[in-house]
Amino acid sequence: MDSGDCALDPSEVEAKAIFLVQRNSEDEILKLIGNSVPAAGLLLLNDVRTYSLEQLPEPDRKLLPSPKKAEEPKNIGRITFALLRRIAWKTFCKPSSPIYKLWSKRLPKFFDEGYFTAAILSTLGDFRIGIPLIASGLAALAMKYSAEEFCELAKPKGMMISRDDRKM
């Protein structure tokens, strides 16, 4: 399994993102992201789930999905996107950023020249996340929506937003 230590090839990530957008629904993209999470990441998610379940009273535990359902690739992809939501939001959705300005105007140049991929690779590189399918999946999810739709979808919830970011 890819450990994420290698440098990502922008043309490969962009080609994969375009392929995902053209041939897959959002659920399929999330499933592919879930399948690309390394085993160590899955173990960490399982540990967090187990610990969290122990904090809940028994009646509440019964309302949650079964462990088998929680470990399905689509759910893992959804959790992965939720974990990377703030990264994606800060990458694409700052109204003063050149990326957001071009995207919101839907300029063809923006889509043709790999701005999504470059932005994702730069940001994921800052966080030392080097898994090609996660980068392609995030870029594909962004490409599927308009700037406003994606920014609403990716906007962090509640306490994840700092006071400074709320004005964005």
Question: What's the total number of domains in the chain?
Answer: 1
Query: 32 near 138, Cβ under 8 Å?
Result: no
Burial of 65 (0-12, 13-18, 19+ CB in 10 A): exposed
Burial of 151 (0-12, 13-18, 19+ CB in 10 A): buried
Considering the domain boundaries, does residue 144 fall inside one?
yes
DSSP 134-148: HHHHHHHHHHTS-HH
- Report the pLDDT value the prediction gives residue 1, as an integer from 0 to 100: 39
Considering the domain boundaries, does residue 162 fall inside one?
yes
Give the integer Cα–Cα distance in Å for 153 and 145: 9
pLDDT above 50 for 2: no
Considering the domain boundaries, does residue 67 fall inside one?
no
Average pLDDT over the chain, rounded to whole?
82
Q: What is the pTM assigned to this prediction?
A: 0.74
Query: 85 near 147, Cβ under 8 Å?
Result: no
Q: What is the pLDDT of residues 39-85, one digit of tens each?
A: 998 898 889 889 999 999 999 988 888 888 888 999 999 988 888 88
Percentage of residues in the chain having pLDDT higher than 90: 14
Give the integer Cα–Cα distance in Å for 105 and 164: 25
Considering the domain boundaries, does residue 21 fall inside one?
yes
Considering the domain boundaries, does residue 89 fall inside one?
yes
Query: 77 near 31, Cβ under 8 Å?
Result: yes
Residue 99 binned pLDDT confidence (cut-offs 50, 70, 90): confident
Print the domain residue range for 17. 10-35+73-167
Considering the domain boundaries, does residue 1 fall inside one?
no
